[in-house]
């Protein structure tokens, strides 16, 4: 089972709602939230865990009282006492996303904005950089972000963070299929998907199996975590 959720955080949401939700999230996240300077970052972080708790209850039947978090040896959060359930969270711009599954999963969301493609030349493989330049001029930035989110989703699924250099693996995006290569060899240990949340936000999901479901867009009114 793979469950993918996204929520748009708007300025219309009352601050009091977030203050109530903050009481429900884990102590670790509350401490982390206190360190954020900007209110928007606090809101995104809070809602990331709220989305996770929503999925754990709705899709896996795990109650609020049962949820405890720990970390792997590289610092990636995981559920305590539910080793068979994997999750990953991300937020950027107006969106928060969450992926929960019975197999390892990674998820990333990015804002599509003008960017210096020199970043790709410096951190991506040469083949990926060439693929970007081979796109029509008006599509190069979006293709760059497809690759960027795919790479981030893979690194997050592996749970090893910066220990995996971004140029140590590469992607080839073909019609209907996304291929990953390691040491110039096609790797089949993960499946990948890319979604557009809107005209300015893109999401990539990396999982041990391909999900047949699209992203579920939810609002605070749809959330059930009590």
pLDDT confidence of residue 106: 95
Q: Which residue has the tokens 């690194």?
A: 155
pLDDT at 19: 78
| Residue whose entry in the numeric block shows the structure tokens 């009282």 | 65
**Cα 187 from Cα 154, distance rounded (Å):** 12
Number of H helices, E strands in the chain: 6, 12
Burial of residue 194 (CB within 10 Å: 0-12, 13-18, 19+) is middle
Listed in sequence order, the DSSP H helices in 93-139 are 118-123, 126-133
Dist CA 209 CA 201 (whole Å)? 24
Q: CA Rg, the chain, in Å?
A: 18
* Tens of pLDDT, residue by residue, the chain (226 residues): 899 999 998 767 777 777 788 888 888 888 888 888 888 888 888 899 999 999 999 999 998 889 999 888 787 889 999 989 999 999 998 899 999 999 999 999 999 998 889 899 999 999 999 999 999 999 999 999 999 999 999 999 998 877 899 999 999 999 889 999 998 899 999 999 999 999 999 999 999 887 767 788 888 777 877 6
Max distance between CA atoms of the chain, in angstroms, equals: 52
CATH class of 2-222: alpha beta
DSSP strand pairing (2-8 vs 216-217): parallel
Can you read off the two tokens belonging to residue 58? 């709705």
Q: How far apart are CA 65 and CA 199, in angstroms?
A: 38
Beta pairing, strands 185-187 & 177-182: antiparallel
Is-contact 128 173, C-beta < 8 A? no
What pLDDT, on the 0 to 100 scale, is given for residue 226? 61
Hey, where are the domains in the chain? 2-222
Question: CA of 23: how far to CAs of 39, 65, 108, in Å?
Answer: 16, 13, 26
Q: Which of 64, 70, 98, 104 is nearest to 84 (CA)?
A: 104
């Amino acid at each position: 089972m793979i469950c993918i959720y996204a929520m748009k955080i708007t300025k219309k949401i009352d601050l009091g709602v977030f203050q109530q939700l903050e009481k429900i999230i884990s102590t670790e996240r509350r401490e982390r939230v206190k360190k954020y300077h900007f209110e928007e970052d606090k809101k995104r972080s809070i809602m990331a865990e709220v989305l996770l708790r929503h999925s754990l209850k709705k899709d896996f039947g795990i109650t609020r009282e049962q949820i405890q978090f720990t970390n792997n040896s590289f610092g990636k959060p995981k559920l305590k006492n539910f080793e068979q359930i994997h999750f990953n969270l991300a937020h950027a711009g107006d969106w928060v996303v969450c992926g929960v599954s019975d197999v390892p999963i990674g998820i990333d969301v990015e804002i599509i904005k003008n960017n210096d493609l020199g970043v790709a030349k410096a951190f991506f493989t040469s083949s990926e950089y060439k693929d970007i330049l081979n796109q029509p001029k008006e599509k190069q930035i979006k293709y760059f972000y497809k690759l960027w989110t795919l790479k981030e989703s893979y690194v997050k699924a592996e749970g090893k963070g910066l220990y995996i250099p971004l140029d140590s693996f590469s992607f080839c995006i073909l019609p209907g299929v996304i291929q990953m290569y390691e040491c110039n060899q096609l790797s089949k240990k993960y499946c990948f998907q890319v979604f557009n949340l809107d005209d300015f936000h893109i999401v990539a999901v990396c999982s041990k199996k391909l999900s047949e479901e699209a992203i579920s867009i939810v609002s605070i009114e749809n959330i059930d975590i009590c």
